């Protein structure tokens, strides 16, 4: 039985589309500590997530340490690219993946959650999208670059802007970043490296601004590689996992639950004096300057 440190707290995790990614692992770890879980799922995949949940596909992954199944209080359809209904372009509204969906902009979801739950205590941003991620930066279009920044970085600013007023004093916010923000990772293109750099910088600025305004904390976890749906779409996640296994100080698999546990700490009152940090949870790979399996060095 876990300590249930977060009993009574309401946690919103945005960016859960299946049981394979970091968002799910964080929700699971928070649930294991007793938090009430509310999920934000990207509008175009809302139906498939709901169907998979209803069919029991996630049941094995829902198991908590006491044997019970993780419960989700409510799943909200959200597209963090859009702040208000007026900002949704006509082509999105009429896109077949959005038809029939309403109330998915950040400000509307904040209003719905306030109506349903009052205030929340924890907010997790576990989402990113770079339509040209497979292109080197040099070949990335302005449109692709700005889209990566909009959905992967500004979305975080927007979430804090609209949810800040409904986060309880002492609450905590977290995002997920990647070391490509400040070291070159060939292949992580399309402006995604720039988007992560912006996200980390914004973590510090928002820690100050939201700390002063609402007395909440804002942190980031720089996670090592995980074969999530988003990472698989980039195309070389298997190689990144092998590389990490070979070269990190800790030569072991990195599990999403390790990120879940670190996140739970940062999001809990135990981290009450920690804000504005980027915490590496990557088996120590960030500390290496050289690769130990380089043929040049062997
Ligand atoms: N997988 C890795 O190796 C790795 C490493 C470091 C950091 N991260 C970060 O972790 C976070 C979670 O990614 P993941 O790898 O667990 O993959 P994931 O596929 O589980 O999560 C990404 C989610 O973002 C959602 N999303 C995309 N655009 C959105 C939008 N406009 N509005 C709302 N939701 C949207 C997707 O539907 C998906 O559910 C991301 O920020 C990612 O960059 C991942």
pLDDT digits (tens, 9 = 90+) for 84-133: 999 999 999 999 999 999 999 999 999 999 999 999 999 999 999 999 99
pLDDT at 156: 99
Q: Name which residue sits closest to atom 39 of ligand 1, judged by CA.
A: 17
Q: Name beta bridge partners: 63.
A: 69
φ/ψ of residue 160, rounded to 5: -70, -40
Q: Which residues line ligand 1 (CB under 6 A)?
A: 15-17, 20-23, 42, 45, 78-81, 126-129, 151, 176-178, 223, 225-226, 228-231
| pLDDT over 90 at 228, yes or no | yes
27, containing H or E segment: helix 22-32
CA distances from residue 58 to 54, 66, 196, 205 in whole angstroms, order as listed = 9, 17, 29, 37
Q: Is 2 contained in some domain?
A: no
pLDDT in tens, 164-213: 999 999 999 999 999 999 999 999 999 999 999 999 999 999 999 999 99
Q: Is 291 contained in some domain?
A: no
Q: Name which residue sits closest to atom 26 of ligand 1, judged by CA.
A: 127
Round to the nearest angstrom and report the end-to-end CA distance of the chain. 47
For residues 133, 136, 142 and 148, what is the CA-based torsion angle, rounded to 10 degrees?
30
Distance 228 CA to ligand 1 centre (A): 8
Q: Is 46 contained in some domain?
A: yes
pLDDT at 298: 78
pLDDT at 176: 99
Distance 292 CA to ligand 1 centre (A): 29
Based on the structure, what is the number of domains in the chain? 1
DSSP summary character for residue 154: I
Question: CATH number of the domain that 236 lies in?
Answer: 3.40.50.720
C-alpha 20/C-alpha 127 separation (Å) is: 13
Express as a percent the part of the chain with pLDDT over 90. 98
Distance 126 CA to ligand 1 centre (A): 5
* Full domain range(s) for residue 56: 10-285
Q: Is 32 contained in some domain?
A: yes
Distance 55 CA to ligand 1 centre (A): 23
pTM, entire model: 0.98
Q: Is 64 contained in some domain?
A: yes
Using DSSP, state whether 75 is helix, strand or coil: strand
Q: Is 176 contained in some domain?
A: yes
Distance 298 CA to ligand 1 centre (A): 36
Q: Is 298 contained in some domain?
A: no
Q: Is 3 contained in some domain?
A: no
Tokens at residue 275, please? 């804000």
Q: Name which residue sits closest to atom 16 of ligand 1, judged by CA.
A: 21
Q: Which of 176, 81, 84 is nearest to 131 (CA)?
A: 81
Q: How many secondary structure helices (H) and strands (E) does the chain include?
A: 11, 7
Residues 265, 270, 276, 277: is their CA dihedral positive or negative? Answer: negative
Pocket test for ligand 1, best of 12, 19, 22, 178 (most atoms within 8 A of CB): 22
Pocket test for ligand 1, best of 104, 128, 158 (most atoms within 8 A of CB): 128
Q: Which residues are catalytic?
A: 178, 188
Pocket test for ligand 1, best of 28, 106, 230, 254 (most atoms within 8 A of CB): 230
CA distances from residue 199 to 76, 86, 130, 280, 283 in whole angstroms, order as listed = 23, 25, 14, 15, 22
Cβ-count burial 126-139 (b if 16+ within 10 Å, e if not):
bbbbbbbbbbeeee
């Amino acid at each position: 039985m876990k300590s249930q440190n977060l009993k009574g707290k309401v946690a919103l995790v945005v960016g859960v589309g299946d049981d394979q990614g970091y968002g799910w692992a964080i929700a699971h770890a928070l649930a294991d500590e007793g938090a009430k879980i509310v999920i934000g799922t990207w509008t175009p995949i809302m139906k498939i997530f709901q169907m998979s949940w209803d069919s029991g596909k996630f049941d094995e992954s829902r198991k908590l340490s006491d044997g019970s199944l993780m419960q989700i209080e409510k799943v909200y359809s959200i597209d963090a690219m859009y702040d208000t209904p007026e900002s949704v372009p006509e082509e999105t509204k009429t896109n077949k993946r959005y038809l029939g969906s309403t109330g998915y902009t950040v400000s509307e979801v904040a209003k719905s959650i306030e109506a349903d739950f009052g205030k929340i205590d924890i907010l997790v941003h576990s989402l990113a999208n770079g339509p040209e991620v497979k292109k080197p930066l040099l070949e990335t279009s302005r449109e692709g670059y700005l889209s990566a920044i909009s959905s992967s970085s500004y979305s975080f600013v927007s979430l804090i802007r609209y949810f800040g007023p409904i986060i309880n004093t002492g609450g905590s916010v977290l995002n997920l970043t990647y070391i490509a923000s400040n070291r070159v990772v060939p292949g992580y293109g399309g402006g995604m490296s720039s988007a992560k750099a912006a996200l980390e910088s914004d973590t510090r600025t928002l820690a100050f601004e939201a700390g002063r305004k609402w007395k909440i904390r804002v942190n980031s976890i720089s996670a090592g590689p995980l074969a999530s749906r988003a990472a698989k779409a980039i195309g070389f996640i298997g190689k990144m996992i092998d590389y990490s296994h070979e070269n990190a100080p800790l030569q072991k698999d990195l599990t999403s639950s390790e990120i879940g546990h670190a996140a739970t700490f940062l999001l809990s009152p135990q981290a009450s004096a920690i804000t504005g940090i980027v915490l590496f949870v990557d088996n120590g790979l960030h500390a290496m300057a050289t690769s130990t399996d380089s043929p040049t060095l062997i």
